[in-house]
A and B are shown apart, each in its own frame.
Chain A
Amino acid sequence: MALLKIEDLKLDIENSNQNSHILHGVNLLINKRDRLGLVGESGSGKTMTMRTVIQLLPKKTKIISGKVIYQNQNLLQKTEEEMEKIRGREISVIFQDATSALNPVYPIGKQISDIYLRHKGRDKKKALEETVNILRRVGFPKPSESVKAFPHELSGGMCQRAIIAMALMCSPKLLIADEPTTGLDVTIQNQVIDLILDVIKGKDVAFVFISHDIGMVTKACSKVAVMYAGHIVETCTAQRILKKPLHPYTKGLVRCYKTIIGKRMVYIRGSAPELIKTISGCPFEPRCDVAMDICKRQKPKSIQVEKEHWVTCHKWNN
């Protein structure tokens, strides 16, 4: 059953002279208990898509068109007050940089229990109890002492655990993790992903994992959506994307990820298009090795190739 449905979302950022086009009609469906990975390079719009969902957009952004339907309600029409009730309670986010997502002047215990007090009632004693419980679950060895710890006293990994605790405090229906491991050391990254997967296991929660690392995403998720320059170019299951990618961009990414033998590194030629340009054809056309005439002129449509495998490429449009 659909939990969140994003329909034809178009988004611009207004600059003084020219607008940057960030999203070009994004369609995405997240079912209940889904584990969706959103993969793409920096600037491909993956973070902006999810920020639109929780309505935490930077100033000067303008939604041109589209709907974000969460449990039959369009979130784009909600007022700020209504959104405040949804954020943290229904939809919560684990942000990229744990140390800057926490307030440096308050102990972590206060910051976590604040979420409880805001959404679940005013019993401070109960809030503290719940905070200790959730800190224990995310792997703090001495949770009753850790509630008094300030963010600077904790390591990056521990801060990220505190953020995870915060995100899960009100048992949200949708958990968005925006590059949760980017600032962390490689040996900690797996620990953090395993922890997130462990705490949501068996719960009624959908998980969206935003990352540029296609390997990490396929390990943690069951479905993958690949974004390029504000378009969703391919959606399919996690196993399939590594074995049988269809879009030339995904193929390139998978090749970059898989090939480690030899003295040369694999890459995709060129670089991502500039955001201020209007794209009339396929956004990947200038970098694509199999581009045809039509790719320059016409935008490809999303085509269902197999069950649960969608690709946006003219090659597959018989």
Chain B
Amino acid sequence: MNQNNNIIQLIDVKKEFPKIVAVNNVSLCIKSNETLGLVGESGCGKSTLGKCILKLLKIDSGKIIYRGNPIHNLPEALFRPYRKRIQMLFQNPLTSFNPFYSIQASINEFCNLNDDLKEKGEIIKKIKYEMNRVGLSQRILTSKPNELSGGQLQRAALVRTLIVEPELVVLDEPTSSLDMSIRGQIINLLQDIQEQLKVSYLIISHNLRVIKTIAHRVLVMYLGEIVEETTTKKLFNKPFHPYTRALLEAALLNINENETKDILKGEVTQTSRNLIGCKLAPRCQYSKKRCFQQKQELEEIEKDHLVRCWRAKEI
């Protein structure tokens, strides 16, 4: 893999909270103009990982390398220039805007933090340009967040994200607060923007339809660990890990109808985090003694297809 092509690379990143290892030795890389999907249920550490990349959380061990420069232990003052290159789009746009500010004021506030965008005329010109790109009328600039619909507000949040011309945008469940009929509008818009601006995305979502449409490669996480990593096409055509299969089935995306249902029993329990072997073993119907006792590493089963499961090839 060409190292220089990577926008960001994470090597063995670990983040612990009291009693809980939220992200356990995760390595990943995102190339320029690529969309990486991060899938998993709540509590699997996907949002924590996103926040670690933005340095909203400090990592405990491992490395984060941005275009060849390690950024994980930079003090805040030196990290500042990177902030505009790495942006985040949050899940619920209603809570990511100040309810007392107009949309214009919220975006202005954000621009004022940025050295390149201090001149007032320049800012307004830029806002209008980006508003046009995401398909919002300029009328809404004077509106307060509660006067807008979810779709409009998510577009406005996107304006705020794009205005500093980022290279990498972390999308944390960008559509989960939106209605089904609106979801497609935002996802298609994100794809258009990627084409125009050549940005990279890390999209965090539990919605596999969204991931299937937008992502080029997908990582599946379970309790802080990556359990499967491959291209989107391979993941949806031939998933190996039982957890991935269960997710596809739950989303009614499973192609093979005859396959045995109910791959997983019960639900995520925090005690599973302390297991030595596979963390899914207590819920997995295929689990054997070895799954509980021995730790499996991510193994390359096929070209570009990494899976963490002892029985991946048999089942």
Contact = CB atoms under 8 A, between A and B. Distances in A.
Given A155-B267, A190-B250, A265-B210, A271 B151 contact: yes
B265 to A, nearest CB: 9
B242 to A, nearest CB: 11
Contacts of B213: 260, 262-265
B184 A271 contact: no
B152 interface: yes
Interface string A262-289: 1111111101100000000000000000
A188 B267 contact: yes
A185 B181 contact: no
Contacts of B268: 155, 185
Given A157-B267, A185-B41, A271-B151, A265 B251 contact: no
B181 A260 contact: no
A223 interface: no
B183 A187 contact: no
Interface stretch (B119-127, B165-173, B185-193): B185-193
A41 interface: yes
Interface string B257-297: 00000001001110000000000000000000000000000
Q: Which DSSP category, helix, strand, loop or mixed, fits chain B's interface?
A: helix
A104 interface: no
Contacts of A262: 213
B77 interface: no
B252 A215 contact: yes
Interface residues of A, number: 32
B209 A41 contact: no
Given A264-B191, A271-B151, A187 B267 contact: yes
Contact of B179 (A42, A185, A266): A42
Contacts of A21: none
A186 B184 contact: no
A252 B185 CA distance: 13
B182 A260 contact: no
A186 B267 CA distance: 10
Contact of B184 (A156, A157, A265): A265
A187 B269 CA distance: 13
B183 A265 contact: yes
A264 B190 CA distance: 11
B246 interface: yes
B197 interface: no
A267 B188 contact: yes
Contact of A272 (B149, B209, B212, B246): B149
Contacts of A260: 209, 212-213, 253
B183 A267 contact: yes
B206 interface: yes
Nearest to B207: A186
A42 B149 CA distance: 11
A253 interface: yes
B247 interface: yes
Contacts of B209: 260, 265
Which residue, of B184, B187, B246, B253, has the highest number of chain A Cβ atoms within 10 A? Answer: B184
B217 to A, nearest CB: 15
B47 to A, nearest CB: 14
B42 interface: yes
B41 A256 contact: no
A189 interface: yes
Contacts of A185: 41-42, 206, 267-268
B180 A256 contact: yes
A24 interface: no
Given A42-B150, A186-B251, A272-B179, 7 more contacts: A41-B180, A42-B179, A155-B267, A214-B180, A253-B181, A256-B181, A265-B184
> Considering the complex of A and B, which 4 residue pairs feature the smallest CB-CB distances, nearest first?
A267-B184, A265-B184, A268-B181, A41-B179
22 contacts: A42-B150, A185-B268, A186-B41, A187-B250, A188-B267, A212-B179, A212-B180, A215-B252, A253-B180, A256-B181, A256-B184, A260-B213, A262-B213, A264-B184, A265-B184, A265-B209, A265-B213, A266-B184, A267-B183, A268-B181, A268-B182, A271-B150
